[in-house]
Homo-oligomer: A and B are copies of this chain.
């Protein structure tokens, strides 16, 4: 099934941007739940992110009807529903390839564990790292990728190798059965259509900030 066509029965394709926002609504719902609240509104759900109430309702409508007119949404119920929609109502094993500075930082990153993402295997080309244990996981050589992915039924991977080897390692991941890659290497990956890639490119994000700040700080235009 094509993920872009998922939704409630007979639904139109889900626009790309919707899923990202649904993640945000889930965050807000969990925050409201921690505050001890039980009901909320489309206004309150979008507010911290500057998203209008109509947008919130339209996004949720991609997946079904979850609110009651005049009342709003039940926080606990909607959390359960959205977790299932996003697929985070179950554990997701991850592999991490490339144990540099960033790889080690990701290994300790709290945000993953709290969302039921768990690094179950680590791979590196460096023979000095292979065999060592980090956070309870022993580093393996890249040759072990295929067997490990099959054994753990892993679908998702964190790619933290240098730019030069990223494409090659991605191909090995895909051959091993990986279907989604969070790519930290600053190069575009060529991948087949059944594999999803999200690029985390910090220098591009800083560049975008610099552009905005450049404009607002001193009024210098590119031609200036």
Tallying the copies of this chain within the complex gives 2
A128 to B147, CA, bound (A): 44
B186 touches A111 (CB 8 A): yes
Mask of A1-31 contacts with B, CB within 8 angstroms, 1/0: 1111011110000000001100110010000
Which residues from chain B contact A194 at a C-beta distance below 8 Å? 216
Q: Which of B6, B7, B23 contacts A207 (CB 8 A)?
A: B23
A208 touches B155 (CB 8 A): no
Q: Does A72 contact B (CB under 8 A)?
A: no
B210 touches A200 (CB 8 A): no
A contacts with B, residue count (CB < 8 A): 71
Q: Which residue of B lies closest to A3 (CB)?
A: B215
Q: Does A150 contact B (CB under 8 A)?
A: no
Q: Does A156 contact B (CB under 8 A)?
A: yes
Q: Does A58 contact B (CB under 8 A)?
A: no
Stretch at the interface among A35-43, A80-88, A136-144: A80-88
Q: Does A52 contact B (CB under 8 A)?
A: no
B212 touches A196 (CB 8 A): yes
Q: Does A152 contact B (CB under 8 A)?
A: no
A168 to B96, CA, bound (A): 33
A168 to B27, CA, bound (A): 19
A213 touches B180 (CB 8 A): yes
Given the known inter-chain contacts A6-B222, A112-B203, A222-B63, please indicate yes or no for A23 contacting B84, CB distance below 8 A. no
Q: Does A151 contact B (CB under 8 A)?
A: no
Given the known inter-chain contacts A207-B86, A210-B180, A222-B84, please indicate yes or no for A217 contacting B24, CB distance below 8 A. no
Q: Which residue of B lies closest to A5 (CB)?
A: B215
Q: Does A65 contact B (CB under 8 A)?
A: no
14 new A-B contacts at CB < 8 Å, known A87-B207, A102-B109, A115-B206 = A3-B211, A8-B222, A9-B223, A19-B211, A20-B204, A23-B207, A84-B222, A86-B210, A101-B108, A112-B203, A179-B216, A180-B212, A182-B209, A198-B209
